[in-house]
Amino acid sequence: MVKGAFPIFRRDMRVMRRSIFSELLAVVAYPLTLYFAFGIGMKGYIGTVEGVPYPVFIAPGLISMTAINAAFDESAWSMWFHRRVQRTIEEYRTAPITVYDIVIGKIFSGFMQGAIKGLAVAAVILLITSFRVEAANLASYLFFIVLGSMIFSCIGTICGTMVDKPENIGRIQAVVIVPLVFMSGIFFPLSSYPPALLPFIKLVPTTAIFAGARQSLLQGGVDGGYAANLLVTALVAFVAAVQTFNRKMAE
Amino acid sequence: MRRDSLPGTVLPPGSTDGGSMTDMSVDIRSVSKWYGSLAAVDRFSLEARQGSIFGLLGPNGAGKTTLIRILTTLIRPTTGEAFIEGCSVLSEAKKVRALIGVVPQENNLDRYLTARENLELHARMHGMRSADYRRQVDALLELTGLANRQHEFPDTFSGGMQRRLVVARALVHRPRVLFLDEPTTGLDPQSRRAVWDYVRDLQREMTIFLTTHYMDEADALCDRIVIMDKGRILEDGSAGELKERFAHAHGYELQFRTGLDRYAELLGRLPFVTSLVRNGEALRVTLRGEEFLKPLLDAVGTDDLKGVCLREPSLEDVFIELTGREVRE
Ligand SMILES: Nc1ncnc2c1ncn2[C@@H]1O[C@H](COP(=O)(O)OP(=O)(O)OP(=O)(O)O)[C@@H](O)[C@H]1O
Ligand SMILES: [Mg+2]
């Protein structure tokens, strides 16, 4: 059914391969800066959080953050660019493929960008810092990165589909994405929230991404509640992205 | 392009097996498209025969692009229905898309892919395998003179080269109907002629549906011309027929020694002058009938008049007479 998504996905992967090496420095620079500024800079003041040294506490979140930001960016900008600037979406739409093929191809491209860039940051952090993980925990951690990238690729696709002015994509990022990411406990434990608020915070999908991923990486295992939250969110985001695109194209 | 100059084995997917019910390649039935209170296309009906070159002529905003977007399944008509090779653009859109090649008004090349990759992506979206499309892509790059720049990005191409690449891309899957929306706007005379040459050669293999602002283009290429404005058909026929039909268009050219502006204003106010166009140092007018020549000359007097001559109607005159204006760019 989605055979037509492959040429589009392949096109995006080809373009990504060309630029990924020159991009990686920029991709890695931001989380590494945060790692050193907070992890090393604050280490003396913070010591350990929830039983682990502070740099170790923030590392998994920085990796997840890179992944979901990259997925969102790629999907939002790519969709906007192909729709509004190059108008290549119209070329796709006059080929015998469906709008579902197009949007699914784009969502998977965004997802791949997120997953690859997240892994690149993970590799760099493992290489140049003393941060170490159990190999056995990686699979469950990947589960969270994959779902997180998927969800944010869908959200990016929705933005890139609905937003016509590029500056508004930046605004959505500043007002929605950044608060969601930073308030989900990358830099502080969720126990810092007032207990009354905590149940609600735990329902936010980004909390599930960051807290769930950290738990998987540092302690092993997958938290059932977080996993269920993310699976449902991913499904909803996917359906919403496909429908949004479908509706926009029918205008 | 000769048929035998291209590897000719690939049939477009979705091509009708056996005889089709009609030999009409494009069949438009009372199509309208409304944007708010504006009818961009207004109860438009038309049939174009297989293997013909069909030209849609109209000033800016006439509704040409809107009509092409409806026929290429990009937008849905508000009312009405259209068929491409017997397939409905509404209910069989995917089948229609397998049959058509589209050259949109604005180039929509992928600037992150090389020229060749642009063609290859198109082929893959049409379900072709690399064994099927490799030679076809080679041949088209050769034909459009882009073979030696095929590994470069379209950003580095001139406007004419980009346009040729868009045309080549539309041909990769060997469409049965080719839609060209102003294929030569912005090209130099040489490139225009090159495009005309391909289009003429292609006619043997497919129906061509083009829009243009250029009278000479329509005259040189099209078997049949429809002039439209404000979403409606104004006139329909071959270039010869249209000129014939408007032979009554009494066109005169008046040359003046001085005061061109003043005379233009004066002529514009005369009720029997149906059109007025400035052509260098002369004014071209069309009169409602022969009998108005004398009143015309009485009105302008002989003080500044240098000469008057009768003009053979050109397609341009037909156009101006019909739309009441010059072809706008
Ligand atoms: N998306 C839209 N929303 C509102 N009005 C539109 C839209 N698209 C086209 N129109 C209007 O429909 C009319 C026909 O436009 P169209 O682009 O079909 O003209 P055209 O004949 O292709 O003109 P040109 O020669 O300039 O390309 C115009 O008045 C235009 O403003
Ligand atoms: Mg147009």
Query: What are chain B's domains?
Result: 24-243 (3.40.50.300), 250-312 (3.30.70.100)
Looking at the structure of chain A, the number of domains it has is 1
| Joined tokens for residue B122 | 């198109």
Q: Quick one: closest CA in B to A250, which residue?
A: B75
Ligand 2 is an ion; residues with CB less than 5 A from it: B 64-65, 105
pLDDT digits (tens, 9 = 90+) for B69-94: 999 999 999 999 999 999 999 999 99
**Distances, alpha carbon B256 to alpha carbons A171, B73, B253, B282, B295, in Å:** 62, 52, 10, 7, 17
Burial B296-315 (b: 16+ CB within 10 A, else e): beeebeeeeeeeeeeeebbb
| Joined tokens for residue B200 | 């003429």
The residue segments making up the domain with residue A191 are 5-250
Task: Tell me how far apart the alpha carbons of residues B109 and A151 are, in angstroms, rounded to a whole number.
Answer: 30
Tell me the Ramachandran region of residue A232: left when phi exceeds 0, alpha when psi lies from -120 to 50, beta otherwise: alpha
Q: Which of B95, B100, B111 has its CB closest to that of A94?
A: B100
Binding-face residues of A in 71-90 toward B, CB within 8 A? 86-88, 90
Q: What is the ipTM, given to two decimal places?
A: 0.90
Most confident of A219-223, B18-22, B32-36: B32-36
Most confident of A46-55, B104-113, B222-231: B104-113
Interface test with B, best of A94, A100, A106, A247 (most B CBs within 10 A): A94
pLDDT digits (tens, 9 = 90+) for A129-181: 777 878 888 888 889 999 999 999 999 999 999 999 999 999 999 999 999 88
State residue B285 phi and psi, 5-degree precision.
Answer: -125, 155
With an 8 Å Cβ cutoff, is B112 touching chain A? yes
Confidence label for B3 from pLDDT (cuts 50, 70 and 90): very low
Average pLDDT, chain B: 85
Q: Which long-range contacts (CB under 8 A, 24 or more apart) does A184-191 make?
A: A184/A209, A184/A210, A184/A211, A185/A61, A185/A210, A185/A211, A185/A214, A186/A58, A186/A61, A186/A62, A186/A64, A186/A65, A186/A210, A187/A38, A187/A58, A187/A61, A188/A49, A189/A49, A189/A50, A189/A57, A191/A50
Closest residue (by CA) to atom 26 of ligand 1? B60
A228 alpha carbon – ligand 1 mean position (Å): 49
State residue A96 phi and psi, 5-degree precision.
Answer: -75, 55
Taking 60 as the threshold, does the pLDDT of residue A83 lie above it?
A: yes
Q: Which of B74, B97, B108 has its CB closest to that of A96?
A: B97
Q: Quick one: closest CA in B to A18, which residue?
A: B112
Instruction: Flag if A15 and B112 touch (Cβ within 8 Å).
Output: yes
Residues of B in Cβ contact (< 8 Å) with A11: 110, 113, 117, 121
